[in-house]
A and B are shown apart, each in its own frame.
Chain A
Amino acid sequence: MTTITQSGVTALPVKKAARAEGMPFIHQVSTMTARAFRNSLRVPFAIIPGVLISIFFLFIYTGTLGDAAGFLPGLRGQSYLGFILPLSVLSAALSGSSLAGDGIVRDIENGYFDKLMLTPANRAALLLGHMISGAFLLVIQTGIVISVAVLMGLEPATGIGGVLALMGISLLLGTAFAGLPVGVALMSGSSAATSGASFLFFPLSFLTASFVPLNLLSGWIETAAYLNPVTYVIEAGRALLNTGWDGDVILRGFSSILLMAAIFFTFALFALRVRMKRK
Chain B
Amino acid sequence: MNGEIIGEGLIKQFGNYTAVSGVSFKVETGEVFGFLGPNGAGKSTTVAMLTTLALPTQGRALVGGHDVVTEAADVRRIAGVALQEIGLDPIMKSMELLTIQGQLFGMSRREARDRAMELLTIVKLDEPGVMDRRVGKYSGGMRRRLDLALALVHRPRILFLDEPTTGLDPASRRDVWNEVRRLNREYGMTIFLTTQYLEEADELAQRIAIIDKGQIAIEGKPADLKAALGGESINLTFDTPETAMQAQDAVQHMADRTQLDRNVLRLYRPKAAEIVSPVVSVLNDGGFSPSALTLSAPTLDDVFLQVTGQRYEEDAGTGPVAETFARRGKSADKKAS
Q: Report A129 CB to chain B, min CB distance, Å.
A: 10
How far is A35 from B92 in the complex, measured between Cα atoms in Å?
9
Q: Which residues of A contact B150 (CB under 8 A)?
A: 115
Within B4-54, which residues are at the interface with A (CB < 8 Å)?
51-54
Interface assignment of B78: CB less than 8 Å from any CB of chain A: yes
How far is A39 from B96 in the complex, measured between Cα atoms in Å?
11
Q: Report A80 CB to chain B, min CB distance, Å.
A: 41
Looking at chain A, what size class is its interface with the partner chain?
Answer: 35 or more
Partner of B155, one of A16, A113, A120: A16
Contact A107 B89 (CB under 8 A): yes
Interface assignment of A151: CB less than 8 Å from any CB of chain B: no
Contact A39 B155 (CB under 8 A): no
Within B74-92, which residues are at the interface with A (CB < 8 Å)?
74, 76-78, 81, 83, 85-92
Partner of B53, one of A16, A28, A32, A118: A118
How far is A119 from B156 in the complex, measured between Cα atoms in Å?
12
Interface assignment of B55: CB less than 8 Å from any CB of chain A: yes
Q: Which residues of B contact A20 (CB under 8 A)?
A: 77, 105-107, 154
How far is A90 from B129 in the complex, measured between Cα atoms in Å?
43
Interface assignment of B103: CB less than 8 Å from any CB of chain A: yes
Q: Which residues of B contact A39 (CB under 8 A)?
A: 89, 91-92
Interface assignment of A214: CB less than 8 Å from any CB of chain B: no
Partner of B54, one of A8, A106, A112, A279: A279
Q: Which residues of B contact A107 (CB under 8 A)?
A: 89
Interface assignment of A27: CB less than 8 Å from any CB of chain B: yes
Interface assignment of B228: CB less than 8 Å from any CB of chain A: no
Q: Report A118 CB to chain B, min CB distance, Å.
A: 5
How far is A157 from B105 in the complex, measured between Cα atoms in Å?
51
Contact B104 A113 (CB under 8 A): no
How far is A8 from B134 in the complex, measured between Cα atoms in Å?
40
Contact B73 A112 (CB under 8 A): no
Q: Report B166 CB to chain A, min CB distance, Å.
A: 14
Q: Report B184 CB to chain A, min CB distance, Å.
A: 13
Contact B77 A120 (CB under 8 A): yes
The residue in chain A whose Cβ has the minimal distance to the Cβ of B156 is A17
The residue in chain A whose Cβ has the minimal distance to the Cβ of B82 is A115
Looking at chain B, what size class is its interface with the partner chain?
Answer: 35 or more
Q: Report A163 CB to chain B, min CB distance, Å.
A: 33
How far is A4 from B77 in the complex, measured between Cα atoms in Å?
14
For A252-273 the 0/1 string (1 means CB < 8 A from B) is: 0000000000000000000000
How far is A1 from B65 in the complex, measured between Cα atoms in Å?
10
Q: Which residues of B contact A13 (CB under 8 A)?
A: 155, 187
Contact A279 B55 (CB under 8 A): yes
Contact B104 A112 (CB under 8 A): no
Contact A5 B53 (CB under 8 A): no
Interface assignment of B241: CB less than 8 Å from any CB of chain A: no
How far is A22 from B115 in the complex, measured between Cα atoms in Å?
16
Within A106-137, which residues are at the interface with B (CB < 8 Å)?
106-107, 110-121
Interface assignment of B188: CB less than 8 Å from any CB of chain A: yes
Within A17-31, which residues are at the interface with B (CB < 8 Å)?
17-23, 27-28, 31
Partner of B91, one of A9, A42, A115: A42
Interface assignment of B111: CB less than 8 Å from any CB of chain A: yes
How far is A19 from B111 in the complex, measured between Cα atoms in Å?
13
The residue in chain B whose Cβ has the minimal distance to the Cβ of A2 is B77
Interface assignment of B207: CB less than 8 Å from any CB of chain A: no
Q: Report A273 CB to chain B, min CB distance, Å.
A: 15
Contact B53 A120 (CB under 8 A): no
Contact A14 B74 (CB under 8 A): no
Sample of 26 A–B contacts (CB below 8 Å): A8-B1, A12-B188, A13-B187, A16-B111, A16-B154, A18-B77, A19-B106, A21-B106, A22-B105, A23-B103, A28-B104, A35-B100, A43-B91, A106-B89, A110-B90, A111-B83, A113-B87, A114-B53, A114-B85, A115-B150, A116-B104, A118-B81, A119-B76, A119-B101, A119-B104, A120-B77
8 tightest A-B CB contacts, nearest first: A20-B106, A111-B87, A115-B87, A17-B154, A119-B104, A121-B104, A112-B89, A278-B55
Interface residue ranges, A against B (CB under 8 Å): 1, 4-5, 8-9, 12-14, 16-23, 27-28, 31-32, 35, 38-39, 42-43, 106-107, 110-121, 278-279
Interface residue ranges, B against A (CB under 8 Å): 1, 51-55, 72-74, 76-78, 81, 83, 85-92, 96, 100-101, 103-107, 111, 115, 134, 150, 154-157, 187-188
